[in-house]
Amino acid sequence: MTDFQDAKALVQAQYADLLAATTQDVATVLARRMTADALWRGVDPFGVVAGPDAAAGAFWGPYLRSFAHVKRREDIFFAGLNEIDGFSSVWTCSMGHLQGLFDAPWLGIPATRKIAMLRYAEFTRVEGGQIVEVAFFCDILHLMRQAGIVAFPDQTAQHLVQPGPLTGDGRLLTPQDAAEGEKTLARINTMIGSIDAANRDPRARTPREELLENWTEDFTWWGPEGIGATYTIDRYIEQHQGPFRQHIADRSFNGHLCRMAEGTYGAFFGWPNLTITNAGAYMGVPGNDVRADLRVVDVYRREGEKLAENWIFFDTLHWLGMQGVDVLGDLGVG
C-alpha cells in the first residue's frame, strides 16, 4: 500500500493557510509549500504560469480582492499515483466550492454582495515534500449565473449549485485499501474504452447498452454550466450525450495528464483532453469548422462494480474563445 498521507497533509495545510491569506500576503503563503518554479495551470482567462508569485497574480490575488470571508467547502479529496506517467508521481484531487461574499467585481462580472459558490476542481502534484504542479479548474459560467448573467439559457440539463457525493464520504483523509483504488481505476479505464469503441463504431451498441456496462442505472452526472446536471441513464442520453454526439464532429482524444484513483473515488484531467469540431451549433454557438481544444476534468464515485456519480468541469471559455466567442466581452462585462 502506497502511503499518501504526507502529501495529503501538505496540501491540506496549504488550503488551510490560504483561507487566512490576504491579497498582500497570498504569494508568500503559496511559497511556503510551492517550489519557485512550480507549474500552475488555470482555466481561461488565468493561463499557465510558473511559481507562487505568478499563481497569486493570475488567480488568488484578484479572487481574494473580490470575495470576502472565503471558505473552501471541500466535498471530495483523495490522493493517488498517476497512471499516465507509469504510476511514478503522487497527486491529490480536491473538489467542491469556494464560498465567499461577492463584494467587488471579478473578471468584470458585477458584484452581488451576496453569497457566491465557485465550483472548482484542483489537482496538485507533490514531490520531495513540496508542491511542484497545480491544475486549477473552476466554473466561471456557473458563477456568472449566480450574478444574474445567463450566458446559455437553453442548456439541455439543469443548473444547480452542486452537492458532493450522495454517500457523504468523499474526503479520504485516512489511508485506503489499495485494492479498492485499483478497482475504481480499472472501471474508469473500461469506461474510457467504451467511449473509444463507440466513437469507432457508433452502431455497434445502443447508447443505453454502452452506458450500462459501466454506470449504475440511476447515476448522476454533474455537468458544467452551459450543459447542466442530469440524472439516470435515459435522461443523461437525452440531456447530454445525445446532443453532444449529434452536434460535435471529428472528436480526437489527446490523452490525459493525470489519471488516478483512491478508494472508491477517481479522477482525470487533460490539457486538452479532446479536440473537436462544433459542426452543429452546440450550446447555441453557430456551427463552424474550427478544431477547438476542450480541457476537461472528470471526478468519479464508484458504487459496487459501477460508477454512480460523475462531476465534470470544462474549460469552456477557452473552447469558445478558439471559436471566436468571447463570453465576458460579448456580454459587456469583460
pLDDT at 41 over 90: yes
Q: Residue 45: is the preceding peptide bond cis (ω within 30°)?
A: yes
Grid coordinates belonging to 2: 502506497
In order of 45, 203, 229, 244, 275, the CA distances from 200 in angstroms are 34, 9, 27, 16, 16
Q: Is the pLDDT of residue 1 over 60?
A: no
Q: Is the pLDDT of residue 21 over 80?
A: yes
What fold does the segment set 5-146 form as a domain? Nuclear Transport Factor 2; Chain: A, (3.10.450)
Q: Are 80 and 59 in contact (CB under 8 A)?
A: no
Q: What is the pLDDT of residues 218-268, one digit of tens each?
A: 999 999 999 999 999 999 999 999 999 999 999 999 999 999 999 999 999
Distance, CA of 139 to CA of 316 (rounded, Å): 8
CB 26 within 8 A of CB 17: no
Q: Which three cell numbers stand for residue 317?
A: 471559455
Identical fold for domains 5-146 and 178-330, yes or no, is yes
User: Is residue 3 very low, low, confident or very high in pLDDT (cuts 50, 70, 90)?
Assistant: confident
CATH placement of domain 178-330: 3.10.450.50
Q: Which residues lie closer than 8 Å to 8 by C-beta, 6 or more apart?
A: 77, 79, 92, 173
Whether the predicted pLDDT of 102 surpasses 70: yes
Q: What does pLDDT average to over the chain?
A: 96
Check residue 332 and give its pLDDT.
62
Counting residues of the chain whose pLDDT is more than 70, the rounded percentage is: 99
- How far, in Å, CA of 256 to CA of 267, rounded? 10
Single pTM value for the model: 0.96
The pLDDT of residue 317 is 97
> What percentage of the chain reaches a pLDDT higher than 90?
93
Angstrom distance (rounded) from CA 128 to CA 221? 36
More confident residue, 306 or 284: 306
Range with the poorest average pLDDT among 48-57, 110-119, 279-288:
279-288
What does the pLDDT read at residue 154? 85
pLDDT at 333: 47
Sorted by where each begins, the domain ranges of the chain are 5-146, 178-330
pLDDT in tens, 158-213: 999 999 999 999 999 999 999 999 999 999 999 999 998 988 888 899 999 999 99
pLDDT of 307 reads 98
User: So what's the pLDDT on residue 252?
Assistant: 92
The yes-or-no verdict on residue 330 having pLDDT over 90 is: no
